[in-house]
Amino acid sequence: MELSARQKKIVEIVKENGPITGENIADFLNLTRATLRPDLAILTMAGFLEARPRVGYFYTGKTGAELLTEKIKKIKVHEYVSIPIVVNESVSVYDAITTMFLEDVGTLFVVDGEGLLTGILSRKDLLRASIGQQKLSAIPVHIIMTRMPNIAVCRREDPLFEVAKLLIDRQIDGVPVVRDKEPGLEVVGRITKTTITKAFVELVTDSDQHL
């Protein structure tokens, strides 16, 4: 978020004179308190200043970059989670390919009869199986999938940033969002590279709206 010249001036005034009332900041700038109200609201909302009732405004001491980092680290998986597309481990590679096209996703999660996570199928897993000579409708996906316990997962309360790191570290496109369901993990959502891109775009769009 880019601060206006007046907002930068306000930050400087509060830095040097805080705690200071809105009235006194207005005096410094030869403006009315009402004129300053939107600027003070923005600076408080963005975390540059803190307002304490009957005391005034404090400078929080945080730079724009620090505030952005804080904001990013606060985003949780559940704020961006999308619907998971799952297939049973007994379905054929042919049916999995069809599901991938119909559902327009790049990763399918594989579950057993109890609905517990057993594997994951990426586009390349299905491509690899397709370049052999086998009949795709005769091969069950559990033969070719990446299987538990080697699956990277996340949970609803995890920071989205940690999932982004996981995608980079493991060189994968997505992870299932899971919750414990004895004796395994139930798939409750999906986070992919697209999710991260969306969050990235919204961060910028949201902060523009506050200007």
Q: Which region, left, alpha or beta, applies to residue 84 given φ > 0 means left and ψ of -120 to 50 means alpha?
A: beta
Strand 117-122 and strand 56-59: the pairing is unpaired
Asked if 154 touches ligand ADP (CB under 6 A), the answer is no
Q: Tokens standing for 140?
A: 């069950």
Of 25 and 126, CB closest to ligand ADP: 126
Q: List the interface residues with ligand ADP, window 83-112 (CB under 6 A).
A: 107
- Closest to ligand ADP by CB, 84 or 174: 174
Q: Give the footprint of ligand ADP on residues 170-189 (CB under 6 A).
A: 171-175
- Please give the Cα distance from 152 to 112 (Å, whole number): 18
- Subset of residues 3 to 62 that bind ligand ADP, contact rule: CB under 6 A: none
Compose the 111-130 pattern: x for residues touching ligand ADP by CB under 6 A, - for all others: ---------x-xxxx-----
Strands (E), 19-136: 49-52, 56-59, 86-88, 107-111, 117-122
92: which strand partners? 140
**Amino acid identity at 205:** T
- Which range of residues in 2-10, 15-23, 143-151, 201-209 is near ligand ADP by CB under 6 A? 143-151
Which residues of the chain form contacts with ligand ADP (CB under 6 A)? 107, 120, 122-125, 146, 150-152, 171-175
